[in-house]
Amino acid sequence: MIPQGWQSTEIGKLVDFKSGGTPSKTKPEFWGGSNPWISGKDLKQHYISSSIDMLSEEGFAVVSKAPKGSSLILVRGMTLLKDFPVGFVEEVVSFNQDIKALIPKKSIDGLFLSFLLVGKKEEIRQLVSTAGHGTGRLDTESIKSFPVDIPPLSEQKKIAKIFSTWDKAITTTEQLLANSQQQKKALMQQLLTGKKRLMGFGGEWKYSSINEIATRIQRKSDGNKHPILTISSLGGFVRQDERYSRYMAGESVKNYILLKNGEFAYNKGNSKTYEFGCIFDLEKFESGLVPHVYVCFKLKKGLSHRYFKYLFEADYLKLQLGALVNTGVRNNGLLNIKPSEFLATRVPVPNVEEQERIADILYASSLVIKSLQQKLEGLKQEKKALMQQLLTGKRRVKA
């Protein structure tokens, strides 16, 4: 049932559609200026005022432009198959042929429209077709006939202002989070290399091989039930069936290594985050079975577990591991690094008191980051819930 005072209509009756284009790539004088030219890769942010590729005044003059207050939607491209990217135009921009500009008429507020499209993106995404266009295509006519319910213009503006306020809070928190992450990274680079020493500590650091500070683990399953785990370069150990949505181990699980809480494993698969593999400790599970290609080890007594956890998180061994890669990446994605070579890499070992002090500082920095991440996720979830209420009229605002 439509809320009182609202109107049932179609998107095509609220906006004018405009197609984009690409200036000639054979004319370098069209490119490299200060005028935004929006493509699908620029629609990762809701508010659009800049782009990765920029046009000169000459290029900007010969291409389609979207006025301030328009909405940009991607109608062709792989991203459509996963999402329905929408951008709100804050300044006049040009855009390419994979995008349509929705220019609002007098009956619709442009910012409200952009939020309405975001709120309806799951339904609109169902209109995407791959027939004859494997990367996904959204037919303009299907968007024009898409039904929507809209409140009076004054209520639209109020709703848009509310969402805009939430977005500012989200953006501020994202910036604080990014700053905190950079500060932690800088601290790690200084404290974990000895470039910056803490008050009360002096003298040269000792450097030892992993073989000297740890014991390699190669134990097999004890016959009890243990989760099958794999290492994600972004978050450490995760269940294999959750990451891949299916059980991957098969018969090879009998050769898996049984890892226990607090023990480390080196995954020599390369990734964007860790070019020469990553090292994580088993933290969230009491035990788990991990692939036998992982090099697993346990720190000897008298060392700070937290210190070495941060040392490996900071990718301290990157240069040493990179020097060991002599034949590139194998077909299975694993780097050609032997366990004996990995265990011979060297790490800084200050006295245990200094290890713990360094770990304390980095732990405090991690807590700040975790708090901001939780706050950011909370803001996003609360905004999402509010959108579901305000964009359907279940909750009304006074204009």
* Both tokens assigned to 102: 């929705």
* Both tokens assigned to 309: 């956890």
Q: Is 350 exposed, middle or buried (0-12, 13-18, 19+ CB in 10 A)?
A: buried
pLDDT in tens, 299-341: 999 999 999 999 999 999 999 999 998 655 554 567 889 999 9
Residue 325: name the closest of 309, 341, 302 by CA.
Answer: 341
CATH topology of domain 206-349: Adenine-n6-DNA-methyltransferase TaqI; Chain A, domain 2 (3.90.220)
Query: Can you give the pLDDT at residue 331?
Result: 47
How far apart are the C-alpha atoms of 202 and 196, rounded to whole Å?
A: 11
Cα separation values, 201 from 208, 355, 370, Å: 19, 11, 29
Architecture of the domain defined by 7-150: Alpha-Beta Complex (3.90)
- Report the amino acid identity of residue 298: K
**Grouped pLDDT means (10 residues each) for the chain, 399 residues:** 93 96 94 95 93 96 96 87 89 95 96 96 88 78 95 96 97 98 96 94 94 96 89 90 63 86 94 93 95 96 97 96 72 78 97 97 97 98 96 88
* In the chain, ranges of CATH 1.10.287.1120 domains: 152-199+353-399
CATH entry 1.10.287.1120 includes domain 152-199+353-399: yes
* Dihedral of alpha carbons 50, 78, 237, 328, sign: negative
How far apart are the C-alpha atoms of 209 and 214, rounded to whole Å?
A: 9
Phi, psi of 106 (to 5 degrees): -65, -25
- Report the amino acid identity of residue 154: S
- Give the single-character DSSP code of 300: P
Question: Strands 93-95 and 31-38: what pairing?
Answer: parallel
Residue 339: name the closest of 254, 241, 268 by CA.
Answer: 268
How far apart are the C-alpha atoms of 16 and 37, rounded to whole Å?
A: 20
Residue 88: name the closest of 70, 103, 102, 62 by CA.
Answer: 70
Contact (CB, 8 A) for 180 and 186 = no
pLDDT in tens, 35-85: 999 999 999 999 999 999 999 999 999 999 999 999 999 998 877 778 889
- In this prediction the pTM is 0.84
Query: Can you give the pLDDT at residue 240?
Result: 86
DSSP for 249-268?
-GGGGGG-EEEETT-EEEE-
| Angle in degrees, CA 257, 237, 350, rounded to 5 | 90
Mean pLDDT, the chain, whole residue set: 92
Query: Can you give the pLDDT at residue 246?
Result: 56
* In the chain, ranges of CATH 3.90.220.20 domains: 7-150, 206-349
